A and B are shown apart, each in its own frame.
Chain A
Amino acid sequence: MMTFIARRCRNLILFGIAAAFFFVLYQISVSSLQPTPYYSGWTLLVMMVFLALLNVRKKFSFLPMLGKASKWLQLHLYVGVLTIFIFAMHLQFRMPNGTFETLFALVYIGVVLTGLLGLYMSRAFPKRLTSHGETIFYERISVLRRQICEESEKLVFDSIAETNSTTLPEFYTKRLLPYLKGPRNVLMHLLGSKLPYRRLLNDMDVVERYLNNIEKEVFSDLKEYIESKENLDHQHALQSGLKYWLFVHIPLTYSLLIFLVVHVVVVYAF
């Protein structure tokens, strides 16, 4: 069993060899007046179809002969990055300036950029998800958010009878309830910033000085809910990121395939 590092090194070396191989082929092809764009174009087409097949593979997970999805994903990543080189060679290292060709290239660039973003997120986010409190099912987040909100609300308003003070309920209503009602600070969570959370805690610390002992006990429980909500938002933001980048990547891929077909027809016709 190869270690992760060894496997990564092996893959990178193979990738480098493949890239160098294609580049040499390109140079030879250009130098020998071959119709290089045809060769690079067909290579790209095959690669793109292969990349698109990952989605199909996922749908046919019950077929063992197709190989592991993880292997497919690995190949998807390396072949995807390799297409960047082939694409540059296909365009002869220049940007197209025709309308159709430019749109086609932009769609490809969109697919590549979202793919690279997805690659980053799928590598970085799981670590952050597991290292930041309780890991939550994405589908349960809204239920748990509501649960936190209801429980905390009950806690605060039930305490009024005991404390005869409205300080805590007022603070809860004005400052905490909006925070607890829905997902908050998605972008900050994606960027890994805790600034909004610290600001909230700071506000809570300010209020805490004006609470009596009973209220402080309730406030202590309330802090736990806030912490849970912070984790819930964190889980929501990161898991949303992991899910929603595909909302751009996959549709653009289909668009790319449609462009590709038209491109091939036009190129062969003309």
Chain B
Amino acid sequence: MAKRLQDFSFDKSQYERVPQKWICGWTPEGHPCHLGPDSKGCCRATYECKPWKNENRWECSRHKSHGGKCEEGPRPDGECCRVLTNCQPIRSVRASRGRVALYTCYVTLAVLLFMLSSTDVFTYLEPGNLTGPHSAIEGKLGGSSSCAQCHSAAEKTPAQWLQMAISNHSGIGLKESQLCLNCHKQDGQQSFALNVHGLHSDQLTLSTDRISKKLASGEITSSPEMVNLVASMAPIPGVPSKNGEVSCATCHREHRGRNFNLTQLSNHQCQTCHTVQFGSFSKGHPQFENFPYKRHTKIKFDHLTHINGYFKSMPAEMSPNMCSDCHQLDANNKLMEVKHFEQTCNNCHGPSLKQGISVLRFPGVNLSALKKYSKNLGIDLDTGEHSKFWVDSEEQEDTGELTAFMKFLLQGEVNMEHEHIQTWFEDGIAEAVESEEEEHVQHAVDFVNQIKTLYATISDDEGHKGLKKLIQNALETKEDIPNATMASLIGRFPVGLVRHSLKGLLGEEEAMSEDGSLSSYGGWYQEGYGIHYQPTGHADDFLRNWMDVTGQYAGKNTAAKDLFNYLISSGKATSCSKCHSVDAMPDGSMKVNWKSLPSKKGSFSKFSHAPHLNLLNEEGCKHCHKFKDMTKFNKGKFEEAFAGTDPLVFESNFEFVEKETCAECHVADRAGDNCTLCHNYHVTNFAPALSVVLLNEPPAEEKPSKVDNNSEATDKRKADEEAKRKADKEAKKKADKEAKRKADEEAKRKADEEAKRKADENAAKANSADQKYVDYVVSVLSDLQGGFNELANPVTTVQDAMERYKSSKAKLETICQTVSSSTLNEVLELSKPRPSSRQDVIDRAKAIGQAIEKFQAKPDADLSALKSLMDGGSNETSQTGGENQKRVDYVVSVLSDLQSGFNELANPVTTVQAAMERYKNSKTKLEAICGAVSHPVLNNVLEQAKPRPRSRQDVIDRAEAIGKAIEEFKAGHGDSDLSPLDSLIK
């Protein structure tokens, strides 16, 4: 039973003052004083009590809770006899907690202050990693510079952040989005980049109204899911307005890790602004409208007529059998483009593309009558030296009509309204010979003079300047047409030919090119009184450029329109519009669709053929692209659609693709049915965004060119030109590289020859006085190398190898002390430290081998000082010389090889096979030597070498015997005639 510890009686229980900040310092010891510290934490300890005076006697006043009256009682002077020991008061629990909280705040503030004042403040404040592509900005610029690319606050101080935080934030997202657009420029229309879908609000309103009407009429229905329904019922501020601008961050949330998908959006998110909402693609998505044949195709091709008619009448090998015979995936593996003309249409349509067109001609005029009338009237008609080229309509029948090109160019020459000038043309021609009235004659004279001037202008001495001005005048444009565009128009104009004709040469060469047969590959030729152009074939640049430019101005310039209409006019064999559809653009310009691929600009939907091709069944492409029944196909409407220029008028050969076809696979749990799978949010494309930030260049000023705007063809052509320019540059670079390579090779060859020459010189030098020294050093180095080589192998002769190594190193040290050679010093340094591994030994042996070669090629020291060393050493070679010495060396080397072969055979090395080869070769050579000369020592060696060794010891014994034989031979070869060995040595 535990003792009860607390007594709560009134005179024994102490009152605990918990909220007090300070407590007695003796509390933990268990004997706090009853006074306790003051509010400032100072000890107040004096005495246990303050005695009181009862009449004349001091009495103890200690409280019962502290033991009651003490036995001693107060002192006579009234002071308590029990003195309290002072303490250092401590904080109460509550006060300690407050103190800890305070310190924590200090630490927190210190940490934050450190972060905010650090140079790496943005590294600390970054809420998460940027996505992979954007991390390049971080990597390139780092710090505030990288943050400032997207956040204007990054250029400000933390104090300014506070100001920004409490200032008005309306539209801040859009302002910051402008920073995004510094890199992500929308093609063409930057001002709409932040608009919903990147479209002009009018377009969006029209689209919304169209959908709303359909919704109202019940043509389509909306069945939103609960989330979208609630969102639309209780709109919260911040939903992007239908016609307003949307900040980039609404959909693209950054700082969520390297691999975060910035473009990922849920179907609910996509639909949040939409008038029509639905649950999924298969359930609720509106049916496709005329998909994918909403507009006429770029290439006018009647599949049904061709397949059911023309192809059947063609030989089987010429007619296509499958879709892939004419169609292929484009470079992006998305769209199916038509293969090149040469691979598809050329067989049938190619030959008809080379019919010439008349560009310039002298119109027929009754020159004699005109001369007569003008003379009578005193009007100056200066036919001059060119008069003989004018067709005299009295002599030759000629309507005198101008060519379309001339009419266009004369617009630039004559300052007159288009309608008037047309009348003037007709009147001028007609009136030139019909009337003697002064006005008519003057008209006709002016007409003739203008034609003359036109020719003169085209062929003026200033190159194409006159022609350029004529075109600019005709197009009524004051803008500076880009050089590339202008060059494409006039660069190939036959100035020389025109000048030629003006100089009177035309008549003489007329017969040469009467029917254009000299221009069978296309180009300019003269025929009759005119200059003609025959297209080079399909995609002729000259005509294409003229069509593009006149098409661009067709909406605002009648002359350009007339010429464009002439160039594309149906029925002409050369007409490009036979196969290429023409689109009337909203601004009135005309665009010839040169490429088969539809433009994806402004498209809400996208489709990639590539992943679908592998899924085709036996129907192939027809599974989706079903041909129309011939009975349903309206051929007339088809032709009519292409005759016009409205791209939205179209009669397709194919049935429209139904939504259900796609929905067979595109459900959530199969191929997926996310909106972004098939739809683009940004209708217009964004240009690649690498430039500004990473190159540290200011954003290029966009200077829209009137000529280039809305001209996909021109853009494409410019791109082609750019590609060609790049290709040329690349080719030039390659050629330069090749030339440089050849020059380098030549230089290297010369350098090699020079080096070889020098090496030969050195060798010759070495063969003379220094040779013996070189040989000596080489032999020492070879020994050293051999020592390392043997050390590298797990041989039993390690000790020998070490001895060899030590002795050769000692010799080398002596040599290095005697002569000063950097090569030898290097080798000595290399040989000094103890090898750390077998590979180290091999590497050193290799390095020493290279040093030997280097030294042999060019001894880099005066070796004469070595004489004393060699005299003291075993210098056999120095004692012998001449032809006999070579023979001795040869025999010795063969014997050494044989000995080495045995040596290696004796060792458990991995080069047994090589050793065997060496043994066999040297044995064969020894047999040959013995066959040539008769020497008992050599014969003995040969006898020893022949039988197969019985054991490792046998091998070692034989090696030793051969070694002795070598010594014996060296000592006793003088009696033998070794001259028969010359043939062997050679």
A interface residue numbers (CB < 8 A to B):
24, 27-35, 39, 92, 94, 96-101, 103, 107, 133-134, 136-140, 142-149, 224-225, 227-228, 230-232, 243-244, 246-247, 250-252, 254-255, 258-259, 262, 264-270
Is A269 within 8 A of B164, CB to CB? Answer: yes
Name, among B4, B16, B29, B125, the residue most crowded by chain A CB atoms within 10 Å (CB to CB): B125
Q: How far is the CB of B859 from chain A (nearest CB, A)?
A: 65
Q: How far is the CB of A130 from chain B (nearest CB, A)?
A: 14
Is B112 within 8 A of A96, CB to CB? Answer: no
With A and B bound together, what is the CA distance between A29 and B239 in angstroms?
Answer: 9
Chain A residues with CB below 8 A from B256, complex form? 92, 94
Q: Residue-by-residue, is B604-643 near A (CB-CB < 8 Å gives 1, otherwise 0)?
A: 0000000000000000000000000000000000000000
Given contacts A32-B227, A101-B127, A269-B156, 16 further A-B contacts (CB under 8 A): A28-B230, A33-B250, A34-B236, A35-B238, A92-B256, A96-B127, A98-B255, A99-B123, A99-B124, A147-B5, A231-B2, A258-B108, A259-B112, A268-B164, A268-B165, A270-B125
With A and B bound together, what is the CA distance between A250 and B103 in angstroms?
Answer: 12
Chain B residues with CB below 8 A from A262, complex form? 112, 116
**What would 6 A/B residue contacts be, using CB atoms closer than 8 Å?**
A32-B231, A32-B272, A34-B236, A98-B124, A99-B123, A268-B164
Chain B residues with CB below 8 A from A32, complex form? 227-228, 231, 235-236, 239, 268-269, 272
Name, among A101, A103, A107, A269, the residue most crowded by chain B CB atoms within 10 Å (CB to CB): A269
Is B5 within 8 A of A232, CB to CB? Answer: yes
Chain B residues with CB below 8 A from A259, complex form? 108, 112
Chain A residues with CB below 8 A from B257, complex form? 97
Chain B residues with CB below 8 A from A103, complex form? 111
A-facing residues in B47-106 (Cβ within 8 Å): 93, 96-97, 100-101, 103-105
Chain B residues with CB below 8 A from A148, complex form? 3, 5
With A and B bound together, what is the CA distance between A24 and B230 in angstroms?
Answer: 10
Is B239 within 8 A of A247, CB to CB? Answer: no
Nearest B residue to A152 via CB reads B3
Is A228 within 8 A of B3, CB to CB? Answer: yes
**A266-B272 in contact given A28-B231, A224-B2, A225-B3 (Cβ < 8 Å):** no
Q: How far is the CB of A229 from chain B (nearest CB, A)?
A: 9
A-facing residues in B195-250 (Cβ within 8 Å): 227-228, 230-231, 235-236, 238-240, 250
Nearest B residue to A235 via CB reads B5
Is B16 within 8 A of A228, CB to CB? Answer: no
Chain A residues with CB below 8 A from B251, complex form? 33
Is B161 within 8 A of A265, CB to CB? Answer: yes
Q: Say yes or no: is B132 at the interface (Cβ < 8 Å to chain A).
A: no
Number of A-B contacts (CB under 8 A): 172
Q: Residue-by-residue, is B886-928 near A (CB-CB < 8 Å gives 1, otherwise 0)?
A: 0000000000000000000000000000000000000000000
Q: How far is the CB of B244 from chain A (nearest CB, A)?
A: 13
Q: How far is the CB of B608 from chain A (nearest CB, A)?
A: 26
With A and B bound together, what is the CA distance between A28 and B232 in angstroms?
Answer: 10
With A and B bound together, what is the CA distance between A33 and B107 in angstroms?
Answer: 38
Is A134 within 8 A of B27, CB to CB? Answer: no
With A and B bound together, what is the CA distance between A268 and B31 in angstroms?
Answer: 57
Chain A residues with CB below 8 A from B169, complex form? 268
Name, among A32, A143, A146, A148, the residue most crowded by chain B CB atoms within 10 Å (CB to CB): A32
Is B255 within 8 A of A137, CB to CB? Answer: no
Is A136 within 8 A of B165, CB to CB? Answer: no
Is A101 within 8 A of B128, CB to CB? Answer: yes
Q: How far is the CB of A152 from chain B (nearest CB, A)?
A: 10
Nearest A residue to B105 via CB reads A254
Q: Residue-by-residue, is B1-45 near A (CB-CB < 8 Å gives 1, otherwise 0)?
A: 111111000000010101000010001111110000000000000
Q: How far is the CB of A251 from chain B (nearest CB, A)?
A: 3
Q: Which of A98, A143, A225, A269 contacts B128 (CB 8 A)?
A: A98
Chain B residues with CB below 8 A from A39, complex form? 236
A-facing residues in B268-290 (Cβ within 8 Å): 268-269, 272-273
Is A142 within 8 A of B30, CB to CB? Answer: yes
With A and B bound together, what is the CA distance between A26 and B228 in angstroms?
Answer: 13
Minimum-distance CB pairs A-B, first 4: A146-B30, A251-B104, A269-B161, A31-B268
Is B5 within 8 A of A137, CB to CB? Answer: no
Chain A residues with CB below 8 A from B115, complex form? 99-100
Q: Which of B100, B112, B153, B268 contacts A269 (CB 8 A)?
A: B153
Chain A residues with CB below 8 A from B101, complex form? 250-251, 254
With A and B bound together, what is the CA distance between A94 and B32 in angstroms?
Answer: 53
Chain B residues with CB below 8 A from A34, complex form? 236, 238-239
